């Protein structure tokens, strides 16, 4: 996995897992790979994946079952979508609108480009 410099690696891994859940790679209620398995897959230190899994647990996206590992929580997709929508409206959209204004791009031009 290639990482970007602007965001902590554990968050980049958590975002990747969220994308994988949304794509159905890890269905709700199903077991996740172990921390060690996932660390090997993305080629990072186990502790980094532990931080990712902890963060995802705090967000109610995955849950630990004692002695069994981590499982995708019921409703995880909705939590992920809600978080992504919030980030879009708070971060992405204002930046996009700012770029439109700098470049003199109208809403009509964006609508036309989207068609």
Q: Domain 9-75 falls in which CATH fold?
A: Arc Repressor Mutant, subunit A (1.10.10)
Phi, psi of 35 (to 5 degrees): -55, -45
Separation CA 51–CA 11 (nearest Å): 8
Per-residue model confidence as pLDDT tens digits over 5-52: 788 999 999 999 999 999 999 999 999 999 999 999 999 999 999 999
CATH 1.10.10.10 domain residues, the chain: 9-75
Per-residue model confidence as pLDDT tens digits over 51-96: 999 999 999 999 999 999 999 999 999 999 999 999 999 999 999 9
pTM of the complete model beyond 0.75: yes
Instruction: Say what the alpha-carbon torsion angle 104, 108, 112, 114 is, to the nearest 10 degrees.
Output: 80
């Amino acid at each position: 996995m290639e990482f970007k410099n602007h965001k902590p690696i554990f968050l980049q891994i958590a975002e990747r897992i969220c994308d994988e859940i949304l794509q159905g790679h890890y269905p709700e209620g199903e077991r996740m790979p172990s921390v060690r398995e996932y660390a090997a897959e993305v080629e990072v230190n186990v502790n980094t994946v532990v931080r990712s899994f902890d963060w995802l647990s705090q967000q109610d996206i995955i849950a630990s079952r004692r002695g069994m590992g981590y499982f995708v929580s019921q409703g995880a997709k909705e939590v992920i979508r809600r978080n992504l929508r919030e980030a879009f409206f708070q971060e992405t959209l204002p930046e996009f609108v700012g770029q439109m204004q700098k470049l003199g791009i109208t809403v009509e031009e964006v609508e036309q480009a989207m068609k």
